[in-house]
Structure 1
Amino acid sequence: MSPLFGMGKLILIFGLVMVIIGGMIMLAGKVPGIGRLPGDIFVQKGNFTFYFPIVTSIILSILLTIILNFIFRR
């Protein structure tokens, strides 16, 4: 086996993971309530808008941690 085979496999897996994450991000905008939770920071003054979904990020981080712990548990 060529040493490049392992690197090619790694790049292929990384690409598939990126496609899945991209699809989830595209669908997340259609789920009601995601990104508009109480605690998310939204400031709008004139033509300046600042939005930081801190609570949404924390909840998604907790959910992903739980899911990945179940998947990769040994």
Structure 2
Amino acid sequence: MPRILIVIGLLLLLAGLCWPLLSRLPLGRLPGDILIQRQNFTVYIPITTCVLASIIFSFVLWIIRR
């Protein structure tokens, strides 16, 4: 368990350091993501982004477990 927490912490640190590069990716603005804007509120439902992240995460875990 401590090893997993260290790896997760390092990944979060790496993502934080690479944030300027990651913000240029079109994630969050993919076709299929729903954005509803009204005068007083905004609702954002990232359906396509979540599906893509799930596929990538599943593939990475499949590679690690092999």
**TM over 0.5, shorter chain:** yes
Q: Considering only aligned residues, what root-mean-square deviation do their CA atoms show, in Å? A: 2.5
- The one-letter code of the counterpart of 1:55 is T
Cα distance in structure 2, aligned partners of 1:56 and 1:47: 25
Count of paired positions: 65
- The one-letter code of the counterpart of 1:15 is G
Question: Following superposition of structure 1 onto structure 2, how do residues 4-23 of structure 1 map, counting pairs within 5 Å?
Answer: 7=2, 9=3, 11-23=5-17
Gap regions ≥5 residues in structure 2: none
Alignment correspondent of 1:72: 65
Question: Following superposition of structure 1 onto structure 2, how do residues 28-67 of structure 1 map, counting pairs within 5 Å?
Answer: 28-31=22-25, 33-67=26-60
C-alpha offsets along residues 13-53 of structure 1, whole Å, 9 cap, x if unaligned? 443243245456x343221x211111111000003111111
TM-score between the two structures when normalised by the length of structure 2: 0.69
What is the identity percentage for the equivalent residue pairs of Structure 1 and Structure 2?
37
Q: Evaluate the alpha carbon distance shift between residue 20 and residue 68 of structure 1 in structure 2; reply closer, same or farther with a 3 A threshold.
A: farther
Gap regions ≥5 residues in structure 1: 1-5
TM-score between the two structures when normalised by the length of structure 1: 0.64
- Please state whether the residue corresponding to 2:36 is helix, strand or coil: strand
Larger RCO (CA under 8 A, 6+ residues apart): 2
